[in-house]
Structures are given as C-alpha cells and as structure tokens.
Amino acid sequence: MESSCNCLTNLLKTSKDKVDFLFSHKDCFKEIYSKLISLPSQDSSDAVYASFMENLEKNCDAYGKCHNILDMMTLEKSPIKVQDKKSCKQTMLTGEFEDRSGNEKTIMSMRDSIQIVTFGDKGLYTKSRIKWIDECSYKVIFIESTNPFENGVLKKGDEREIRIIDIKNNGDVIFEVGMYDRWFVAKVTKLK
C-alpha cells in the first residue's frame, strides 16, 4: 500500500494534463493487481481489493485528492492535441481496435457507419451507428447489444459523442466519450 500511496503523491506533482493523470494513476495500483491475479477465487480477490482500497483511503492523503481530481475532470472536455485533424477520421473510419485497459479483451470494429464492440470471449457485443460531426468527433447511436450492462444503461437511439484527443505513432488512439454530461477518457490500439 505504501508504494501505491507514494506513486499517487508523485503523480499529483508531475501530471501534465487530464489524460496523463487518468492513464498514469492506474500504474499506481500495479502492486495490488499483481496480488489479485494469484488469488484462488473472485471472492477472495474482491475482499483483498476492498481491504486495500479502504486502507489506502484511510491512510493516504493523496488517494482522496486523486479521487477529487478524477471526479472534477470528468465534467470538462479535454483539448484535442491531434496536429493533422484529417488523420482522426482516416484512422478511425475503418479498422479493428483493441482496448487493453480492462480485465477482458475488448475489440472495437469500425466499418464506415457501423461500430461493433465485442466484449471478452463470451461473444457479447454492442452495435451502434456512426455519424461523423467533424474530422475528430462523431456520435455513436445505439442500435442493439447482448451485453447486460450496456442494455441496462442504453436504449435504442441513445447517442454518445466521441472526441478523438490524440493519435500516437504506435497506433494508440486516445478519445473521450460524452455521456450524462460527463467526459470519460479511453484508449484503443489500432490492430488493422
């Protein structure tokens, strides 16, 4: 726990912007994630994680400050850093993209005006129509899903705005998703 607290404290001092903070703060929890992998069951993992987070909240001032920053940051849009705006649409119009931020493999398939997100190995998917707003932003209009979570929060025709913030040379695309008056940052890597 001490190394996670030190990491968060350092992060508060060194983060350059919202995106840097959001992706860097996850690195502060590598210690606990590596322990969770070795536990025999999901129940024991949940208990250890809850205990770790509770201790961090009680004993690490930086933890509370980081949570406050994360809550505030979701209310504001990030500036678009893409130098050549045409590259946004060129990169995202068609292709396969992998989200490596979660615990399960998530693939986003873009085909001109349709986006299909496949979650893990269970065959769950969400299908949406794409409507481009400008070179670096588009809307996804929900069509259907086999994912219970997505069906719980979205109904047919619901729109979410996607804003491409940055495109890295290694194929990483950093973007924001606008939902419920908040902006959530995510990252995918182009596969093909």
Distance of CA 146 to the CA centre of its chain: 20
Q: pLDDT tens digits, residue range 124-172?
A: 999 999 999 999 999 999 999 998 888 888 899 999 999 999 998 878 9
Contact predicate 153/137, CB 8 Å: no
pTM as predicted = 0.67
| Predicted local confidence at residue 56, as pLDDT | 85
More confident residue, 19 or 90: 90
End-to-end CA distance of the chain: 39
Alpha-carbon distance of 119 to 102, in angstroms, equals 10
Q: What are the residue ranges of CATH 2.40.128 in the chain?
A: 86-190
Alpha-carbon distance of 130 to 93, in angstroms, equals 9
Residue 185, pLDDT above cutoff 80: yes
Residue 15, pLDDT above cutoff 80: no
Residue 18, pLDDT above cutoff 70: no
Q: Which H, E and C letters describe the chain, residue by residue?
A: CHHHHHHHHHHHHHCCCHHHHHHHHHHHHHHHHHHHHCCCCHHHHHHHHHHHHHHHHHHCHHHHHHHHHHHHHCCCCCCCCCCCCHHHHHHHCEEEEEECCCCCCEEEEEECCEEEEEECCCCEEEEEEEEEEECCEEEEEEEEECCHHHHHHCCCCCEEEEEEEEECCCCEEEEEEEECCEEEEEEEEECC
More confident residue, 112 or 109: 109
Q: Which two tokens stand for residue 162?
A: 């996607």
Residue 8, pLDDT above cutoff 90: no
Q: pLDDT tens digits, residue range 32-91?
A: 777 776 777 777 777 888 888 888 888 888 888 787 766 666 677 888 888 889 999 999
| Predicted local confidence at residue 73, as pLDDT | 61
Query: Smallest Cα–Cα separation from 164: which of 74, 79, 103, 47?
Result: 79
Alpha-carbon distance of 1 to 115, in angstroms, equals 40
Contact predicate 162/88, CB 8 Å: no
| Predicted local confidence at residue 125, as pLDDT | 94
Alpha-carbon distance of 138 to 165, in angstroms, equals 12
State the CATH class of domain 86-190.
Answer: mainly beta
Across 108-120, average pLDDT? 92
